[in-house]
Structure 1
Amino acid sequence: MITYTPMDIGLCHGRLHIYSCPKALTKHVQTVMEGELNQSLVLNWQRQPLRPGGYRGSLSYSHGIGSGAKIVTALKSWSYLIFELSEFNSFEGSLYLYTKELGLYRSPINSQGQIMVSEDLLNSVITQDMIQGDLRDAVEKLMGKPWDIALEPFREVEIQAVTNVADRLSV
C-alpha cells in the first residue's frame, strides 16, 4: 500500500491573520506554526489597539494541502486568540474564522474567495419549520456573518496599518 503525504498530493497557499494574541503566547504561537509548517518563521508582532495587551501578526505560507486545518487545530486550543486563515490550492480553498465567543467557523471557498454552501446544508436549514427572521439568521450563520461582524473591526486595523505605511512611502 502506498501512503501519500500532503506534500505528495500538492501544495496550497495560505494566509493567516492573528488579530489578537496575548504577549505571553506570541512565542508559543510562533513555535507551533514552525512545527506545523516545518520551517522557520518570523511573525512581525505589533500591538493590537483593540485589545490592550494584545498583539497581532500575519504570515503567508506554501505547504502541503491540509496545512491550514492543522494550523487551525493547533491555534484554536488557545481560546485567547482571534484569527482568520484562508487557504487555496489550484481550484478551491477553505476559510477558517475563530473567536472565543463564537468558536470556529469553516467553509469551503472558491478561487475568488467566495463562500460555498453545500446543497445539503442549505436544504437542512430551509426544511426546518422557522419564521422568516430565523431562516435569515440561519442562512447568515451558514455564510459566516456573525464571525464577519466580530472580525471586521480587526480587519479595519490591518487595513489602516497598510494605509499608514503606503502614506509614509508616498511622501
Structure 2
Amino acid sequence: MTAANTLRRRPATTAGVAWIHASPRAMRTHLEWAVGHAVGDALRFVWQPQPVEPGMERTEVHWSGPVGTGAAIASALAGWRDVRFEVTEDPVPGSDGMRWMHTPQLGISAQRIDAAGSLLVPEERIRGAIEAAGPDARALLAALDDAMGGAWDRELEAYRHASDGAPVIALHRVG
C-alpha cells in the first residue's frame, strides 16, 4: 500500500491600489475602518486636500493579500455614496485582474484588466455593441465607450492627476 500525496493549495496572493480620490473630511475615520475591515487590520491613512474639489480629501493605499481583497475593499467603499474612488486588483494565474471605479453620480463600475492595467472587454460585449449599433458609427462608438467605462474615466480623470506626488501607504494582508 502506498501513501497518497496531498497537495495543499495556498490561496493566490495578489496586490493592488485603492485610491480614494475625494471624500468629505468627516468620513475619513469611517473609510479607514471600512477598508481596514476589508483587509483585516486597523488602518490610518495619510490624507491630503483634494485640489479639484475644495473641502474634500484624498488618499492612496497600496495593498497585498488574497485574491478577492480588491473586491472586498471596493464593496466596503461603495457603501459611502459621497466618495469617489478606484480600486485595482492585479491578475494572477487563475484569476483576472479587476478595476472598480465609483462616483456619486454614476455609481460603481467593475472592469477586468490585464497585467498592464488595460481593460479587457469581453467578446460578447463587443459583438453586442456592433449588432446593436448596426450601420450607425456614432452608436457603436458610444456602446464601446460604455463597455470600457468611459463615463467613469472622464469623471475621475481630473481627480487622478491631483494625486501626482502624494504619499503612498502600503498594506499587507497575509492569510
* TM-score over 0.5 for the pair: yes
- Return the offset for 1:112: 0.8
The answer to whether the aligner puts 1:135 opposite 2:120 as a matched pair is no
**Structure with more helix by fraction:** 1
* 1:96 equivalent among 88, 93, 100: 100
For the Cα contact (< 8 Å) 2:91–2:98, is it kept in 1?
no
Q: Report the equivalent of 1:74.
A: 76
For the Cα contact (< 8 Å) 2:91–2:114, is it kept in 1?
no
Map residues 155-170 of structure 1 onto 2, 5 A cutoff: 155-159=160-164, 161-162=165-166
CA distance in 2, matches of 1:59, 1:107: 20
CA distance in 2, matches of 1:115, 1:129: 21
For the Cα contact (< 8 Å) 1:17–1:57, is it kept in 2?
yes
CA distance in 2, matches of 1:129, 1:33: 40
Q: 1:136 to 1:129 in 2, by over 3 A?
A: closer
**Aligned letter for 1:134?**
A
User: Matched residue pairs, number?
Assistant: 155
SS in 2 for 1:128: helix
Q: Report the equivalent of 1:37.
A: 39
Structure 1: 4+ residue segments shifted above 4 A: none
**Aligned letter for 2:28?**
T
- Return the offset for 1:41: 2.3
For the Cα contact (< 8 Å) 1:11–1:89, is it kept in 2?
no
For the Cα contact (< 8 Å) 1:21–1:54, is it kept in 2?
yes
- Return the offset for 1:8: 4.1
CA distance in 1, matches of 2:10, 2:54: 43
For the Cα contact (< 8 Å) 1:76–1:98, is it kept in 2?
yes
RMSD, aligned CA: 1.6
Q: Which runs of 5+ in 2 are unaligned?
A: 1-8, 167-175
Further displaced range: 97-106 or 84-93:
84-93
For the Cα contact (< 8 Å) 2:48–2:57, is it kept in 1?
yes
CA distance in 1, matches of 2:120, 2:133: 24
SS in 2 for 1:41: coil
Normalised by the length of structure 2, the TM-score is 0.83
Q: Report the equivalent of 2:173.
A: none
**Aligned letter for 2:24?**
P
Deviations 1:41-85 (A, max 9, x none): 231011111222211011011111111111111211111000011
Structure with more relative contact order (C-alpha pairs < 8 Å, separation 6 or more): 2
The answer to whether the aligner puts 1:152 opposite 2:157 as a matched pair is yes
Percent identity between matched residues is 27
